[in-house]
Amino acid sequence: MLAILRDLIRYNLEFRIGLFLVSIVVVMAALSVVSPYPAGDVYVVPPDLPPSTAHWLGTTSRGQDVFWQLTAAIRNTLFFGIMVAALSRVIALVVGLLAGYSGGWIDRVLMSINDTFIIIPLFPILILFYFVLRDSMSTPLLATIMACLGWAYDARLIRSVALSLKTREFTQTSIFSGMKTHEILAREHLPYVLPIVFSTTMNNMNWSIGIEVTLAVLGFTDINTPTIGGMIYWANQHTALVAGIWWWIAFPIGLVVMTFVGLFLLAVSMNEYIDPRSRLARMGGGR
Amino acid sequence: MSGAAEQAPVLQVRDLQAHFRTHYFGVNREVRAVDGVSFDVNRNEIYGLAGESSSGKTTLIKTIAGLLKPPLEMVGGSARFSFLPDWDAVGRAPPEVVRAIRWRHLSYIMQGSMNVLNPLRRIKHSFRDFAWRHLGGSKAEFDLRAAAHLERVKLDPSVLAAYPHELSGGMRQRVTIALATICKPEFIIADEPTTALDVVVQKDVLGMIRTIQQEMGSSVLFITHDMGVHAALTDRLGIMYAGRLVEDGETPEIFARPLHPYTRHLIGSLPRIGDTEQREGLEGTPPNLATPPPGCRFHPRCPLAMSVCTTTVPAMIETLSGHRVACHAVNPGMAA
Amino acid sequence: MSALLDLDRVSKSFSRGGLFSTRRVAAVKEVSFALEADKPEIFTVIGESGSGKSTLARMILGIHTPSSGQVRLGGRDVTTYDRRAFMAEVQPIFQNPFEAFNPLKQLDRYLFMTAERFGGASGKTAAEEQADVALRQVGLSLAEIRGRFPHELSGGQLQRVAIARALVAKPRLIIADEPVSMVDASLRMSIVNLFGRLRDELGLSIVYITHDLATAYYISDRLIIMQKGVVVEQGPARAVLSAPTHPYSRQLRDAVLTPDSAGAFRAIHSRQAVATPGVSS
Ligand SMILES: Nc1ncnc2c1ncn2[C@@H]1O[C@H](COP(=O)(O)OP(=O)(O)OP(=O)(O)O)[C@@H](O)[C@H]1O
Ligand SMILES: Nc1ncnc2c1ncn2[C@@H]1O[C@H](COP(=O)(O)OP(=O)(O)O)[C@@H](O)[C@H]1O
Ligand code: SF4
Ligand SMILES: [Mg+2]
Ligand SMILES: [Mg+2]
């Protein structure tokens, strides 16, 4: 694993840039632990100060230090993205592999559920949830809802790979070597779908962060938990741009764009590395 | 066979070299799958290529057909088609030129039919995708023509409505042969087109390839490891071993007087109906082309190997008229 | 005499076509034959492509359930077997040695797994020992195979590893579906000779599916010839192939190309000559 990382850093420019950007974002998130101000508190510093040595990225109209507020916001936003991605990956993998491998009625049932989720309109549902749940809408709950809505497309992709793997002769060899269904899925087929899982993880994080930011900007989330979207929401509430408090908007947007680009580059470069065919070629095979 | 143009070879391959070059994260690997191959294919003939699995047959014809995708690279030499006089290899011509000749002048029946047939499209759609453009006519006319052509490979027209996975391997292979021949191209490259077929269908298909070839006066480069097929079909024959041509000549001549020890083994190892004599396979394994043996690449398995074979590459010499062979035992003292 | 394998009027049909225009395709029709338990033999199934050979193999292996009829192993319907118990008795070998193992995984895993699950090996050393024994039976050894990936071996070696893996389970019956179609003549002979040794030395029965009549003649004891899902001729291999009686069998035999069939398609100058079945060989 370490060797792979070393190789990627040494030979892949996209990976280097992506890693650099994501590291900055992660370091920011980590710094939230040593923040001098509790993230939820307001009016702890003088409001509306432009960037200076005392407050690197300035302060907000609500009397928060933008830099330290950002550390907490990006941490929560990242957690949110990871949570959604991890949960939805698990669902997509289980549904996709099982449907593709089992075939028959299991496949039909799973895929009709899957198709329902693909055509459900996303935004109305999320907003509906917000109006139904109101104050009990917490970040983990939103993440769970998003995960339930964000697996279907990838599950279909995984299923199509699983379908073709099922007809490969080595699957029969595995069966006649005494492997059980779950062993075949986990050991024989998983390596072939992992590239899909990895590349979609980063993309799914980007997707969920994007939606979270949008929802937050519109005020449809728990705005008391600091997130990137939440910061932009409050800045808008205080008409920060009109008032010339540009740093309140520019830095959160800059950071979230950095996250997007970083994750995207990681996805692209790791995808190439994990792809079974290129992996095989690296091992010296491939016909 | 009259006139100078008739006699000029359609395909001239000279010292062709094609390697698989992989550069993955600092590890360089070079598989020399085709290493200095020269031969001609004349108009109106079927040239056969034989050799065991992994001897580089597929790589050779992929290079000739210009299907060069990384890691495969054409490293040196030339493969010149008479209908493409301005370039010394299809792979070196610009893509629009290649697109214009593909299917009409040069078609390629790939090994492993699933590679050509899109698993998600019915056979008739595959036919339309490939050939409608070239043949024209209305959709209904075209489908009729496709159905009629499928009948020549002994396939029921209902196959047009099937998906590839619903057909058995042999049926799929016949579909791809039909696809490659429907435009009646002048040069057909066929990679193991009958290996998945049973003998009866194989015979029909070989007859069909011969008929189409004669109707069109086209040339065929035909690959198979089945020596029986070569004996029955091809006009001239080249034997490949480990990325090199070791012998070539008129097919009857090769069967009557095989000179290279490997060719002799290929012909002698076949069992026949009515003959119960015990036969053995060739000892040893085909060489790894990333680190091929020096000298004659056959020497680790050759019953006649001498010390010169381990150090010096034998030259390809026209030992008998029109019959070339690369072996120190046949041509003493001829280094490449 | 009790039967090891007994096919009783086995048929299988598939439906083909779209949602509305479904057609039934009969792949295998009423095939019956039996292999005796105390008389190991190589039983060959010959037939044109699409004649249902693979479908037949998949029914014997219990991968497909027959549409009608019964496949019995040791007198018992294979569909009622516990799959594990069944696999300890019957093992497959497939057509394409390069596809038989997961390209991303080491080969020895399959051998060890089979030894632990079917060969009765308990623990790593016992499994290794069994794998080594089986590999030696096919002319390889564990030392050569350990830790290797499929692409590091040649087709012939891979096919022998596939056979060794089947042997580790100590089956009574091996179903080999076109095991030599993808390999060239010299490897073909080493694999076919190996089948002969397994029969003679280990007392294994082998169902050998092929369209290579020459190796069928060379190695097998009895054979059936199938056409469009139906058995058209059966009997002792050499007798049938030397003097086939059914027109299709004759056509099949006459279509075999050997180095002696020189120029069967070379001197043809008219289309009629090609279309005529049974051009002199
Ligand atoms: N994509 C690839 N990357 C690296 N090496 C390759 C690749 N494809 C083929 N080779 C190697 O090139 C050599 C020739 O392969 P090729 O497929 O041309 O053989 P072949 O004679 O057609 O065999 P077969 O009858 O099995 O198809 C082999 O050593 C093979 O391992
Ligand atoms: N899964 C399937 N779905 C539909 N038809 C099939 C399927 N498998 C096989 N067939 C049909 O059954 C017939 C026999 O096929 P198969 O057993 O593969 O032949 P063989 O192995 O002798 O080449 C063919 O007509 C084929 O199209
Ligand atoms: S050159 Fe030597 S090793 Fe090569 S085939 Fe001839 S005798 Fe054998
Ligand atoms: Mg090939
Ligand atoms: Mg088959």
Please give the radius of gyration of chain A, using alpha carbons only, rounded to the nearest integer. 22
Ligand 1 within 6 A of CB of B20: yes
With CA atoms as reference, report the closest residue to C151 among A275, A277, B74, A196: A277
* Axis crossing angle, helix A169-176 with helix C155-168, rounded to the nearest 10: 30
- If one compares C215 and B336, the residue with the highest pLDDT of the two is C215
- Residue A4: the pLDDT is 65
CA-wise closest residue to C185 among B51, B232, B200:
B51
CA distance C244 to chain B (A): 12
Q: Which residue owns the Cα nearest ligand 1 atom 14?
A: B56
Cβ of C99 within 8 Å of Cβ of A284? The answer is: no
The percentage of chain B sitting over the pLDDT mark of 90, rounded to a whole number, equals: 27
The answer to whether C19 contacts chain A (CB < 8 Å) is no
User: What 8-state DSSP symbol labels residue A78?
Assistant: H
Q: C243: left (phi > 0), else alpha (psi -120 to 50), else beta?
A: beta
* Chain C touching partners, 3 or more CB pairs below 8 A: A, B
How high is the pLDDT of residue C1? 55
What's the whole-number mean pLDDT along residues B154-164? Answer: 85
> Do the Cβ atoms of A10 and B27 come within 8 Å?
no
B199 vs C contacts (CB less than 8 Å): 211, 213, 252, 255-257
Q: Domain map of chain C by residue range?
A: 100-170
Residue of A168, A176, A280 with shortest CB distance to C91: A176
Q: What is the distance between the alpha carbons of residues A77 and A29, in angstroms, rounded to a whole number? A: 9
How far apart CA B159 and CA B167 sit, in angstroms, is 8
Mutate to test the pocket of ligand 3, among B245, B304, B325 (most ligand atoms within 8 A of CB): B304
> Which protein residues touch ligand 3 with a CB less than 6 Å away?
B 260-261, 296, 298-299, 302, 304-306, 309, 314, 327-329
Q: How many whole angstroms separate alpha carbon B233 and alpha carbon A270?
A: 49
Which residue of chain C comes nearest to B154, CA vs CA?
Answer: C275
| A187/C165 Cβ within 8 A | no
CA of C250 to the centre of ligand 5 (A): 21
Q: Which contacts of A191-194 are long-range, i.e. CB under 8 A and separated by 24 or more positions?
A: A191/A276, A191/C102, A191/C104, A191/C105, A192/A161, A192/A165, A192/A276, A192/C104, A193/A93, A193/A96, A193/A97, A193/A158, A193/A161, A193/A162, A194/A274
Best residue among B302, B330, B334 to mutate for probing ligand 3's pocket (most ligand atoms within 8 Å of CB) is B302
How far is the C-alpha of B201 from the C-alpha of A214, rounded, in Å? 63
Contact B292, B32 (CB under 8 A): yes
CA distance C242 to chain B (A): 7
**Closest Cα of chain A to B289: distance in Å?**
12
pLDDT of the residue at A285: 43
Cα separation, B216 vs B10, in Å, equals 14
Is residue C184 less than 8 Å (CB to CB) from chain B? Answer: yes
Cβ-contact B93, B68 below 8 angstroms? no
User: What are the CA-CA distances from residue A277 to residues A191, A273, B82, B290, B334 (Å)?
Assistant: 11, 9, 37, 19, 43
How much distance in Å is there from the Cα of B54 to the middle of ligand 1? 5
C-beta A287 within 6 A of ligand 1? yes
CA distance A90 to B86: 56
State residue B254's pLDDT score: 92
Q: Tell me, what's the pLDDT at A282?
A: 52
How high is the pLDDT of residue B104? 81
Residue with tokens 């994260």: B25
ipTM of model over 0.90:
no
Residue B209 has pLDDT above 80, yes or no: yes
Written as six digits, the tokens of B207 are: 């007859």
- Mean pLDDT for the stretch of residues A13-29: 92
Q: How many CA atoms lie within 13 A of B264 on its CB side?
A: 13
Looking at residue A93, what is its pLDDT? 92
pLDDT value, residue B240: 93
The gap between the terminal CA atoms of chain A, to the nearest Å, is: 26
Q: Which of B19, B22, B25, B166 to mutate to test the interface with A (most CBs of A within 10 A)?
A: B25
C-alpha C158 – ligand 4 centre gap (Å): 16
Contact across the interface for C264 and B232, Cβ inside 8 Å: yes
Length of chain B: 336
Taking only the tens of pLDDT, chain C with its 281 residues reads 588 999 999 999 987 655 555 677 889 999 999 999 889 999 999 987 778 898 999 999 998 899 999 999 998 999 999 988 999 999 999 888 888 899 888 899 999 999 999 988 888 999 999 999 999 888 888 988 888 888 777 777 888 899 999 999 999 999 999 888 777 777 788 889 989 999 999 999 999 999 888 889 999 999 999 998 999 999 999 999 999 999 999 988 888 887 776 666 664 433 333 333 333 33
User: What count of CB pairs under 8 Å joins A to C?
Assistant: 71
More confident call, B4 vs A255: A255
Question: C113-124 pLDDT, tens per residue?
Answer: 999 999 888 889
The Cα-based distances of C106 to A177, A179, A274, C27, C161 in angstroms read 14, 15, 18, 36, 12
Q: Name the nearest CA neighbour of A22 among A195, A260, A239, A287.
A: A260
Placement of tokens 């990838």 in the chain: A154
CA atoms within 13 A on the CB side of B68: 22
Query: What's the confidence (pLDDT) of residue C279?
Result: 35
Contact C155 B54 (CB under 8 A): yes
Query: Tell me, what's the pLDDT at B93?
Result: 87
Per DSSP, helices labelled H in A65-168 are 66-102, 104-119, 122-133, 139-149, 152-166
CA distance B92 to B85: 12
DSSP assignments along chain C, one per residue: --EEEEEEEEEEEEEES-SSS-EEEEEEEEEEEEEETTS--EEEEEE-TTSSHHHHHHHHTTSS--SEEEEEETTEEGGGS-HHHHHTTEEEE-S-TTTSS-TTS-THHHHHHHHHHTS---SHHHHHHHHHHHHHHTT--HHHHTT--GGGS-HHHHHHHHHHHHHHT--SEEEEESTTTTS-HHHHHHHHHHHHHHHHHH--EEEEEES-HHHHHHH-SEEEEEETTEEEEEEEHHHHHHS--SHHHHHHHHH---TTSTTTTTS--SHHHHHSSS---
H or E stretch covering A267: helix A247-274
Contact B310, B299 (CB under 8 A): yes
pLDDT of residue C191: 85
Q: What is the average pLDDT value for chain A, to the nearest integer?
A: 85
Region B136-154: mean pLDDT is 85
Mean pLDDT score across all residues of chain B: 84
Cα(C35) to centroid(ligand 4), Å? 37
Q: Which atom of ligand 2 lies nearest, measured to the CA of B170?
A: 23
Taking CA atoms, what residue in C is nearest to A177? C114
- Give yes or no for residue B195 CB within 6 A of ligand 1: no
Q: Is the pLDDT score of A68 beyond 80?
A: yes
Which homologous superfamily is A75-253 in?
MetI-like (1.10.3720.10)
Residues B296 and B328: beta-carbon distance below 8 Å: yes
Name the residue with the closest Cα to ligand 3, atom 5.
B327
Q: Which ligand is nearest to the CA of C64?
A: 2
Q: Which helix (H) or strand (E) holds B133?
A: helix B133-135
Helix (H, G, I), strand (E, B) or coil at A196: helix
DSSP B328: T
Three-state DSSP class for residue B103: coil
Dmax over CA atoms of chain B, in Å, equals 67
CB C30 within 8 A of CB C60: no
C143 to chain B, minimum CA–CA distance in Å? 16
Which residues of chain B have a CB within 8 Å of the CB of A281? 22, 24, 71
Ordered DSSP codes for B299-325: GGG-TT--GGGGTSPBP-EEEETTEEE
Element (H or E) spanning A272, and its range?
A: helix A247-274
- Among chain C residues, CA nearest to A179: C113
Best residue among B264, B306, B325 to mutate for probing ligand 3, ranked by most atoms within 8 Å of CB: B306
Interchain contact, C261 vs B197, CB within 8 Å: no
CA distance C104 to chain A (A): 7
Distance from C-alpha of C278 to C-alpha of C273, rounded to nearest angstrom: 10
Residue scoring higher pLDDT (B279 or A154):
A154
Q: What is the pLDDT of residue B24?
A: 56
Q: Which residues of C touch B47 (CB under 8 A)?
A: none
How many Å from the N-terminal Cα to the C-terminal Cα in chain C?
A: 42
Task: Give the number of the atom of ligand 1 that is nearest the alpha carbon of residue B57.
Answer: 21
User: Which residues on chain A are in Cβ contact (under 8 Å) with C84?
Assistant: 178
Please tell me the residue having the least CA distance from ligand 2 atom 10: B166
Nearest CA to ligand 2 atom 4: B166
Mutate to test the pocket of ligand 1, among B59, B226, B246 (most ligand atoms within 8 A of CB): B59
Chain centroid to CA C171: how far? Answer: 14
Structure confidence at residue C60 (pLDDT): 95
What does the pLDDT read at residue B241? 92
Q: Which 8-state DSSP code applies to residue A65?
A: B
- Among A7, A11, A281, the residue with its CB nearest the CB of B71 is A281
Q: Find the mean pLDDT for residues B179-189.
A: 87
> CB-based burial of residue C63 (10 Å sphere; 0-12 exposed, 13-18 middle, 19+ buried)?
middle
Residue contact B271–C214, C-beta within 8 A? yes
Cβ of B31 less than 6 Å from ligand 1: yes
Copy the structure tokens of residue C197: 């040794």
